[in-house]
Amino acid sequence: MKKIINKPEDVVDEMLDGLVFTSASLIRRLPGTNVILRKQKSEGKVAVVSGGGSGHEPTHAGFVGSGMLAAAVCGPVFTSPTPDQIAAAIKEANQGAGVLLVIKNYSGDIMNFEMAEDLASMDHIEVKHIVVDDDIAVEDSTYTAGKRGVAGTILVHKMMGAAAEAGLSLNELKDLGDQVISSIKTIGVALSAGTVPESGKPGFVLKDNEMEYGVGIHGEPGYRREPIKSSKEIAKELTDKLRDAFKWNASDRYAILVNGLGATPLMEQYIFANDVSEILTKDKIELPFRKVGSYMTSLDMAGISLTLFHLKQDQWLDWLNVPVETTAW
């Protein structure tokens, strides 16, 4: 294992200190916790809070800031944060209009965030939650009942943050979030696994000439291994799966997110994005919102994911385009 770290057990703590050091004008760390909060206040508006295990940077803390998340709770690598830390984030982020929790669909995350929701009710804070389950690769995988929550979570953060800033109520945000999540789907491919610092070993092993479709962001199994293909062939596989899932029609409007999983350079991400664009252009799909970069990673996993978001309302595109002040967007 080759990593630029000190002690493996200190990586999350030191990472968060480094993040705050480099983005001190935007965020702060709640003392004694792994909670990152935005400095900008939005009194009388709903606070959007998310989080989960670390190792997916810049998710989640990189999206804390004006127009997106009010707070992020960062657990150990690939491990949910504890209910008391989540409850502390809820209490500190609340600006008097309640808190919306954005949870990725993993059993540990759901259990701990729901426990924190109960703790917050004891402090008379109104809390609701939405669960992101955008990964169409497999269902009932490791750590998950149903579909996994992956890179589409970033678009949910953006939508919920913009809508909260626009003044939507907690109930309105909850309803909007459920509609948005049902309109987002993601699928990915891995060329190699990420290595958890404390274990020092890759989460799984692929042969030098092998790739795996549908691997999860914690290294969970996908749906097929085969010899590595060209970018065009990978783009066809992933868009075919998304086409089957969405059953789209010509002139439908989508947002596209091409996401690197940690060790895939932007050169390859742009090549893949170009190949996807050729396929979607032939299908006469409109793409008014496009984003490429490493936003939901899996440590140093080599691979890529493709997210499409069906823009069923004009307002949804407007909210995607609202400027924000965060470290990573």
What is the mean predicted confidence (pLDDT) over 110-128? Answer: 97
Task: Confirm if 313 and 14 have CB atoms less than 8 A apart.
Answer: no
Has residue 6 got a pLDDT over 80?
yes
Tens-digit pLDDT profile for residues 225-264: 999 999 999 999 999 999 999 999 999 999 999 999 999 9
Name 78's Cβ contacts closer than 8 Å, sequence gap at least 6.
53, 54, 55, 196, 218
Residue 60 is a catalytic residue? no
User: Tell me: the pLDDT tens digits for 57-68?
Assistant: 999 999 999 999
Tokens (6 digits) for 275: 């190949």
Mean of pLDDT over the chain: 97
- Residues 6 or more apart whose Cβ sits within 8 Å of residue 38: 26, 27, 64, 65, 66, 69, 70, 71
Q: What is the DSSP letter of 106?
A: -
pLDDT of residue 293: 98
What pLDDT does 206 receive?
Answer: 97
pLDDT given at position 222: 96
- Residues 6 or more apart in contact with residue 266 via CB below 8 angstroms: 260, 292, 293
Whether 129 sits among the annotated catalytic residues: the reply is no
Q: How confident is the model at residue 139 (pLDDT cuts 50, 70, 90)?
A: confident
Q: Is the pLDDT of residue 145 over 80?
A: no
The pair of structure tokens assigned to 13 is: 């703590």
pTM exceeds 0.95: yes
Half-sphere exposure of 24 (CA within 13 A, CB side): 4
Residue 88 predicted with pLDDT over 90: yes
The answer, yes or no, to whether residue 144 has pLDDT greater than 80, is: no
Taken in order of first residue, the domains within the chain and their CATH numbers are: 11-181 (3.40.50.10440), 185-321 (3.30.1180.20)
Per the residue annotation, which of 60, 157, 218, 310 is the catalytic one? 218
The CA distances from residue 131 to 152, 187, 225, 309, 322, in Å, are 11, 17, 29, 16, 23
Residue 322's pLDDT band (cuts 50, 70, 90): very high
Percent of the chain surpassing pLDDT 70:
99
- The answer to whether 162 and 126 are in contact (CB under 8 A) is no
Contact present, 266 and 304 (Cβ < 8 Å): no
- Kindly report the backbone phi and psi dihedral angles of residue 34, in degrees, each rounded to the nearest multiple of 5, phi listed first: -105, 40
Least confident of 7-21, 92-106, 141-155: 141-155
- pLDDT tens-digit series, residues 157-174: 999 999 999 999 999 999
Q: What is the enclosing helix (H) or strand (E) of 239? A: helix 231-246
